[in-house]
Amino acid sequence: MKKLFIFAALAAQAGAPVLAGVSDHGNGHGAHDSHSEQMAAGMPGTRSKASRSVKVIMKETDDGEMIFTPSAMQFKQGETIRFLVVNKGELDHEFVLDTPERNAMHKEAMAGGMEQHNTPNAVTLAPGKRGEIIWTFSNSGTFEFACLIPGHYESGMFGQVAVQ
Ligand SMILES: [Cu+2]
């Protein structure tokens, strides 16, 4: 509860919509109330409505960087995407989809000791694991995917999502 509260408080500070009721179904399963989970970057989607899948690889490189492949994405407003996220690295990584502003706040919270969260816009994976996020890009704008584990963003783990 504590980490959810901190995240919600940070979101409220920025004037962004708070993920009301996220603790009721934070594991990503079960029915979603799309109204309560609407975020600037969009909202959780339904798999049957996904128009395509995008595979996302997370890993460290030999020269000390940490990367996402692809490094940027482009979608059309209204599209539902099934992200298949694979951790091919040797460290834990996460894929968080949000606005750059909210990711920056969330990164600070994690640097201050907040643990990885479990919300519909994020998936945290141990080495060798895979996961998925179904997301509907209901708003146009420039968003961001990032790994907010301390030090990872600075090592290159972020990319732009343009929704037109
Ligand atoms: Cu990472």
Set out the domains of the chain in order of their start, with CATH numbers: 2-163 (2.60.40.420)
Q: Give the angle subtended at the CA of 84 by the CAs of 79 and 85, to the nearest 5°.
A: 125
Q: How far is the CA of 156 from the centre of ligand 1 (A)?
A: 9
For each of the chain's 164 residues, which pLDDT tens digit applies? 444 444 444 444 444 444 443 333 444 444 444 445 789 999 999 999 999 999 999 999 999 999 999 999 999 999 999 999 999 999 999 999 999 999 999 999 999 998 776 789 999 999 999 999 999 999 999 999 999 999 999 999 999 999 99
The end-to-end CA distance of the chain, in Å, is 36
Q: How far is the CA of 61 from the centre of ligand 1 (A)?
A: 12
Q: Given this model, what pLDDT does residue 8 score? A: 45
Q: How far is the CA of 152 from the centre of ligand 1 (A)?
A: 5
Q: How far is the CA of 94 from the centre of ligand 1 (A)?
A: 6
The predicted model scores a pTM of 0.77
Q: How far is the CA of 139 from the centre of ligand 1 (A)?
A: 26
Q: What torsion, rounded to 10 degrees, do the Cα atoms 59, 62, 65, 69 define?
A: -40
